[in-house]
Chains A and B, each alone.
Chain A
Amino acid sequence: MLVTELIPLIEAKNLTPAVPTDREVTCGYVCDLLSWVMSHGDSGMAWVTVQTHLNVIAVAVLSEMACVILPEGIDMEEESLKKAETEGMVVLQSPLSAFEICGRLAAKGVPGQN
């Protein structure tokens, strides 16, 4: 599934419109402990987190993830969004809960790991 297709699936708003969304989502993950994500993150991952600070973008970029998803309409700091656009990381904001987002991804066949 492409990030472009993921956006309507989770009713998301793209907070980084300048970043291309034609990248493949190969797996999904939900976790707010960044050091945990560092050891379980993978390329092509759609990562659901309530964390919004700068280090979220660094973790997503270094792990070559497909996108970061903020659940329940959570906003991301402007500084983090700027970094995301500079580094080419897509950040999506969904009104759904993390549970519902993961449920919809799983129902479409996105696995928990590559």
Chain B
Amino acid sequence: MELMFTESYHVARADYTSAGHASASIKRQLKQIGVGGDVLRRVAVASYEVELNLVIHSLGGDLTLNVYPDCVELISSDTGPGIPDLKLAMKEGYSTANEMARSLGFGAGMGLPNMKRNADEFDIKSTVGVGTTITMGFHLRGN
């Protein structure tokens, strides 16, 4: 499949002030390309969730946007610490967010389930001590 557009954004650990910058930029880029409606909203919500996860839980990582003729792909890749129990992490309401995140209104344990709900394809791989990679696909039918 031909890659039409790609861009990567670095997301720093615990940088709550900049959280949302990558997602806003992704949304802008997709709008310019002509992606709109429901798909654009779902990508925006999922990218913000995954960006926040990088800020709250990871040691830092990268969020990559890939645009193909018939789908948008988001890949989040971090350098640790990794998730010990993926099944538990995917459960709604389960969260390991710290006090700082909770004081800002995050940490309801909705992030990963919400990404899965908004994406058409969702894959998560994690190794403790190495890192976590989340890949999400959004179909561009009729866009």
Q: Are A38 and B110 in touch, CB under 8 angstroms?
A: yes
Which residues does chain A contribute within 8 Å of B23, judged by CB atoms? 58, 62
Tell which of B20, B49, B104, B111 touches A51, judged by Cβ atoms closer than 8 Å.
B104
Instruction: Specify the main secondary structure of chain B where it touches its partner.
Output: helix
Q: Are A34 and B24 in touch, CB under 8 angstroms?
A: no
Which residues does chain B contribute within 8 Å of A38, judged by CB atoms? 45, 48-49, 110-111, 114
A-facing residues in B3-60 (Cβ within 8 Å): 16-17, 19-20, 23-24, 27, 41, 44-45, 48-49, 52
Q: Are A32 and B41 in touch, CB under 8 angstroms?
A: no
Number of A residues contacting the other chain (C-beta, 8 Å)? 21
Given contacts A59-B48, A64-B41, contact A87 B108 (CB under 8 A): no
List of 6 A-B pairs having minimum Cβ-Cβ separation, nearest first: A58-B20, A34-B105, A39-B114, A35-B108, A62-B44, A39-B110
The residue in chain A whose Cβ has the minimal distance to the Cβ of B20 is A58
Tell which of B17, B48, B109, B113 touches A54, judged by Cβ atoms closer than 8 Å.
B17
Given contacts A38-B114, A62-B20, contact A55 B105 (CB under 8 A): yes
- Besides A51-B105, A62-B48, 7 new A-B residue pairs in contact (Cβ under 8 A), listed by A number: A34-B104, A34-B106, A38-B49, A41-B45, A53-B104, A54-B20, A62-B45
